[in-house]
Amino acid sequence: MVDVSDKQDTKRTAIARGFIKMKSATVLAIKENQLTKGDVLGVARIAGIMAAKSTPQLIPLCHQIKLNDAKLEFNYINPNTRFL
């Protein structure tokens, strides 16, 4: 790998998207936080932040750089069956 220790800090942005299709009853239970296992979106948010922080360990040849912020958004594409 190339030595990047003398490189100036640069603002970088990464965007990732995923889709999940599920039964409308499951979407409703998630929206109303009624699942027996607890807050699914809260756990997903924490997992996403942990993944962002672990990028240098997960992606080959990725340098460990300072991470200032990680934001995750959950949107309902089709109100009954899909999350973004």
pLDDT of residue 84: 56
In this predicted structure, which of 13-17, 29-33, 46-50 has the lowest mean pLDDT?
Answer: 13-17
Could you list the residue range(s) of the whole structural domain that residue 45 is in? 38-83
Q: If DSSP codes are grouped into helix, strand and coil, which group holds residue 37? A: coil
Does 4 reside within a domain? no
Is residue 27 predicted with pLDDT exceeding 80? yes
> Which pLDDT band holds residue 67 (cuts at 50, 70, 90)?
confident
Residue 52 lies in a domain: yes
- For residue 9, tell me if it sits in a domain: no
Mean pLDDT, rounded, for 25-47: 90
* Domains in the chain, number: 1
Name the nearest CA neighbour of 51 among 73, 72, 37, 76: 72
Question: What pTM value is reported for the model?
Answer: 0.73
- The answer to the question of residue 75 being in a domain is yes
Q: Is residue 68 part of a domain?
A: yes
CA–CA dist 84, 17 (Å, integer): 7
Looking at residues 52-71, what average pLDDT do you find?
Answer: 88
| Position 20 in a domain | no
